[in-house]
Amino acid sequence: MAALFPFRALRPAPDTAPLVAAVPYDVVNTDEARALAVGKPLSFLHVSRAEIDLPAGTDPYSTAVYAAAALRFRALKRDAPLVREEVATLYVYRLRSGAHEQVGIAGCYALDDYDSGVIKKHEHTRRDKEDDRTAHMLALRAQTGPVFLTYRASVDVDKLGSSAAATAPLFDFDAEDGVRHTIWRLSPNDTRTYVEAFGRVPALYIADGHHRAASAARARQELRVAPGVLPCDVFLAVAFPDNQVHILPYNRIVRDLNGLTNEGFLAAVKVPFDVSPGTSPPSRRGEVAMYLAGRWYTLRARDDSNRRPDAIASLDVSVLQSRLLDPVLAIHDVRTDPRVDFVDGGRGPEALEQAVNQGKAAVAFSMFPVAVSELMAMADVGLIMPPKATWFEPKLRDGLLIHEL
């Protein structure tokens, strides 16, 4: 069963929370982070992406960046200011985006559960990204952005969030992207009730934030010095019920056609796929929308009696990889090949069309989203999904609730 721990959050005051809150560090590159932080001295991007305040071209993984992050963190504590709660508590965190709403519980979750598999994973992590966030946590002695967890909806847990939402919130603001972030601080009695309710949740699933969780586990190895539950034995996360979680597709753009002309490439695509005129996004699983030379096509994989696809191999992103990206475009590993890039489904087909029409890509692929139930079923049996298979939206914000180590 899942263990949930209240904590003494370091947080901004309610009036400065909108100025401090920032997009997760890993959804923007350095240039995008720098642009978002212009004219916003309290933005947490100065801490989470500290290279934006160093000379252009600074290696974002250099020791100078982690030193700058620690310096900016200390300055933000003073200037925002950031205050530490007097008592350990839990929080209810609600996200609203248009008609979509999801309500989760923010607190600390056990790294022992992460190690034992009570908290389940569905993707591999990269060592270089783990190195980055581990160094960041150790430099700040803090976890500054929450992991996004999900769980199979529980009546006992979910009704608690509804009661909390009837009280006055601690934070309530609209971010620049239109997402409304509302956070309630729970009373000691409600905190105890939540802890007991989560003790009956059999498993949690990492939806978004595998590298944050893995880095917390590595930082623990550096900081563990005494018996008992220490701050480094848990990690900051928000857990949402699965029936509220919203997964968008993670689309692909490819910069060149591996030496083929548009006509030659289309002919090669027609070998493993049935190709017909189409639109984006795809209407159902088993279809991929492709944008090439100003036109959308629908791709459906041809039957192959020699193939025996398992749950992973039958995913649309796997089929696209094994039958087209790898054999036709020579993209063998989408995690490392610079010729492929990814566009979250929230940007719509227009972003894919623009990339191709402006010559930034030669071809684009629009995917059908993976279902939450599929993700959880695969994690239950220890399967690892392909890279860049899911995009969770809306995103949590960094800097609102900080867990000091």
**Across the strands, what pairs with 75?**
none
**Across the strands, what pairs with 237?**
107, 147
pLDDT tens-digit profile of 119-170? 999 998 889 999 999 999 999 999 999 999 999 998 878 777 667 777 899 9
pLDDT tens-digit profile of 68-89? 999 999 999 999 999 999 999 9
Check whether 229 has a pLDDT greater than 90.
no
**And the tokens for 320?**
């696209």
- The sign of the dihedral angle between the CA atoms of 313, 316, 320, 321 is negative
- The pLDDT-based confidence of 311 (bands split at 50, 70, 90) is confident
404 and 218 Cβ atoms separated by less than 8 Å: no
What share of the chain in percent tops pLDDT 70? Answer: 97
Give the domain ranges of the chain: 4-247+392-404, 250-368
**Across the strands, what pairs with 373?**
none
Q: Please, what is the end-to-end C-alpha distance for the chain in angstroms?
A: 24
DSSP string, 106-133: EEEEEHHHHHHTSEE--S---HHHHHHH
Q: Which residues contact 136 (CB under 8 A, 6 or more apart)?
A: 48, 66, 69, 144, 215
- The pLDDT-based confidence of 108 (bands split at 50, 70, 90) is very high
**What's the pTM?**
0.92
Closest by Cα among 82, 85, 94, 13 to 47? 82
**And the tokens for 22?**
């920032």
Check whether 228 has a pLDDT greater than 60.
yes
